[in-house]
């Protein structure tokens, strides 16, 4: 019976739905590349998610005429997400995108639950130690708030909190 238990514990995982949060910056595209590779390998649904974080609260005073700025930003980001989805769809048909407004961490966790994500693939931006202390790590918050696995990826050859190292001259 032990052999049967070993086989079930080592059975391949089924990845059916992949959620890829993106802030639309070039640094977040590394997560999309990994997610696309996984989606192709597992023939999984791929969902891009962009969350527009509202930069103000009801207590914030806005200058006259600045009410249109959030609307303009939302429109631009929705358009950019649609273009990214179109580009992705030319590579992989089984994809879609979602645009949400609110707290990125809450929206990512909510969308993962909503689509029953098998995995979240998110990029880890190379912030320095000071910014990590001040702002925390979004990936950490998501990792501890969701029920599905989270794959955090970074650009190969980068290390957080360290300076690029010089390659010694050959002698």
Q: Which residues pair with 2 in a beta bridge?
A: none
- How large is the C-alpha radius of gyration of the chain? 19
Q: Name the percent of the chain in helix, strand, coil, to the closest 5.
A: 45, 15, 40
Average pLDDT over residues 79-89: 94
Task: Give me the pLDDT at residue 155, please.
Answer: 74
What's the confidence (pLDDT) of residue 115?
Answer: 97
- Write the pLDDT tens digit of every residue in 34-51: 999 999 999 999 999 999
Best-predicted range by mean pLDDT among 21-30, 107-116, 151-160?
Answer: 107-116
pLDDT in tens, 121-130: 988 765 554 4
CATH number of 14-55+67-153: 3.40.50.620
> Which helix (H) or strand (E) is 5 found in, with range?
helix 2-9
pLDDT value of position 124:
78
| Whole-angstrom distance, CA of residue 99 vs CA of residue 160 | 29
Cα–Cα distance for residue pair 149/117, rounded to 1 Å? 9
**3-state SS class at 14:** coil
Q: What are phi and psi of 32, to 5 degrees?
A: -65, -40
Q: Scan for tokens 């006259």, then name that residue.
A: 64
Question: What are the domain boundaries of the chain?
Answer: 14-55+67-153
- Measured CA to CA in angstroms, residue 51 lies from 41, 92, 98, 136 at distances of 27, 22, 8, 18
Supply the mean pLDDT for the chain: 78
Which residue has 């580009």 as its token pair? 87
The whole model's pTM is what? Answer: 0.74
SS (H, E, C) 70-100: HHHHHHHHHHHHHHHHHHHHHHCCCEEEEEE
Band of the pLDDT at 136, cuts 50, 70, 90? low
Cβ(24)–Cβ(81) below 8 Å = yes
| 124 contacts: CB under 8 Å, gap ≥ 6 | 137, 139, 152, 153, 154, 160
């Amino acid at each position: 019976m032990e052999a049967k238990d070993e086989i079930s514990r080592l059975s391949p995982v089924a990845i059916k739905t992949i959620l890829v949060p993106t802030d639309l910056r070039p640094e977040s595209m590394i997560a999309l590349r990994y997610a696309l590779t996984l989606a192709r390998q597992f023939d999984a649904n791929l969902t891009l998610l962009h969350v527009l974080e509202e930069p103000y609260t009801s207590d914030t005073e806005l200058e006259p005429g600045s009410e249109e700025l959030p609307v303009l930003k939302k429109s631009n980001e929705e358009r950019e997400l649609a273009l990214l989805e179109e580009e992705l769809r030319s590579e992989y048909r089984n994809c879609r995108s979602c645009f949400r407004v609110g707290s990125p961490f809450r929206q990512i966790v909510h969308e993962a639950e909503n689509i029953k994500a098998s995995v979240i693939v998110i990029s880890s931006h190379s912030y320095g130690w000071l910014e990590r202390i001040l702002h925390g790590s979004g990936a950490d918050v998501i990792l501890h708030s969701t029920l599905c696995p989270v794959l955090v990826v970074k650009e190969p050859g980068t290390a957080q909190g360290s300076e690029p190292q010089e390659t010694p001259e050959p002698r």
